[in-house]
Structure 1
């Protein structure tokens, strides 16, 4: 599909407000995402069937509202509005306190359960086709041991479920939630994957969510989504425990090395302080 064909002609007086309303709606519905480049001025004006001055006025209004940004000589792009759901100070605060990970997963468990439930009830054939495409990519990445691609498909899969739920508040809340995940703010995904999360069990969980949504089984979709987060939470706990055990073991080894070095220098080892 030509990107310009996303936009339709304006029939209500051909005003800038009508152009703004249509572009705003596409951003709100998640059709246009952060960083997406709008078609060139000529193509966009033709798609809306408006003059260039009207189009320029509309783009200025959108830019003033913080919804698009213009780059001199580089075009017009959808602004990063998702990142503003969690402010920079809050994001930095979360990143400094590891206990936020558990709260993050608790939040995702309830949110994703509801989202998968709605997706099973509301997903269109186009939504299901997109989910099927992502699942195929995930299977391929898993089969070829491409962990980074598998993790990327994981986030895209959950984003697509958010779209299939057809609830704009859920959609943008989830995108902000996954932004924290993708940027490693609340969870070291690589450490978790290294702990075995990239195995067949994780793929099977995503397939279970997908199958329930395609079948229109809302209860099964909700349960599968929550089971998935429960599995992630257990893996996070195991990874943290393994990391703490490793830290303690390294400290013990350093202490023993220091003691051995001291024995080598003095020719004897002082085991205990002398009694009084």
Structure 2
């Protein structure tokens, strides 16, 4: 499966909706970022170029999606100003928004244990099945993450796309969906965590280790790198609430 097909499948599988245009794909991505708390009312969106890079689509596609969301009152667009989130009432536009809200009710320790188990399985499968085009996508994603070191929202958008691309590469749609759901846990609070100095750089270093395991087709290395990364996420999130 090529990268574009994989991204469209992410929307279709997670949302249970038929595959549509790439513009609709970006609409659902942005509303998912809102539903999971990455973006909140008043938050500015990354620029068109940055958002296009994070999602591997054209600027024209991003522009069209923003226009759709502005007509729904979700985004506010003003000449010469950054596009900002105007409403979190995304209705049916969001991908499984209710499911993300349900995930937020879980205990942090339980989610950590579940992510360790599921992501280990997903990483091992991805190391065997991942395609060269997806590896290229992940390399480009890391480059986009590095360009977002001073922008927590933009980094988290890139971060989610990096993770879900790997989940999809496992070849198991059910595990990929569960992993993506658990990834969304307390994602709104992660923005505060990644705003702390050095946190984004540490996550990118973890991502490079994950990518290295996938590039060498080493299930043990990929699984271990995922475990290290998830434990870092768990630890920093727990400190936030201590």
Q: TM-score range by the shorter chain?
A: 0.5 to 0.7
Do the aligned residues in 2 keep the contact of 1:212 with 1:221 (CA within 8 Å)?
A: yes
Pair 1:129 & 2:130 matched: no
How far 1:37 moved relative to its partner? 6.7
Hey, what does 1:115 align to over in structure 2? 122
Which residue number corresponds to residue 267 of structure 1? none
Total equivalences in the alignment: 167
**Matching residue within 158, 161, 166 for 1:156:** 161
Distance 2:144 2:18 in 1: 22
1:30 maps to: 10
Matches within 5 A, 1:1-276: 29-30=9-10, 32=12, 34=15, 38=20, 82-83=96-97, 86=99, 90-91=102-103, 94=105, 100-142=107-149, 145-182=150-187, 184=188, 188-196=189-197, 198-241=199-242
Give the equivalent residue in structure 1 for 2:26: none
The answer to whether the 8 A contact 2:193-2:237 is kept is: yes
Post-superposition shift, 1:139?
A: 1.4
Q: Separation in 2 of the partners of 1:198 and 1:36?
A: 37
Q: RCO (CA 8 Å, sep 6+): is it higher in 1 or 2?
A: 2
Describe the superposition over 1:163-215 as per-residue Cα deviations: whole angstroms up to 9, x where unpaired. 11111111222232234444x3xxx1122223446242221001100111111
Unaligned runs of 5+ in 2: 22-71, 73-91
Q: Give the number of the structure whose alpha-carbon radius of gyration is greater.
A: 1
Q: Give the 3 Å change call, closer, same or farther, for CA 163–37 of structure 1 in structure 2.
A: closer
The answer on whether the counterparts of 1:109 and 1:229 sit within 8 Å (CA) in structure 2 is yes
C-alpha distance in 2 between matches for 1:37 and 1:31: 7
Assess, with a 3 A threshold, how the Cα gap between structure 1 residues 197 and 36 changes in structure 2: closer, same or farther: farther
TM-score by length of 1: 0.52
Q: Deviations over 1:194-250 (max 9, x none)?
A: 344624222100110011111111100000000111112221233223xxxxxxxxx
Structure 1 unpaired stretches of 5+: 7-25, 40-73, 242-276
Distance 2:111 2:154 in 1: 23
What is the TM-score when the length of structure 2 is the normalising length? 0.58
3-state DSSP of counterpart to 1:30: helix
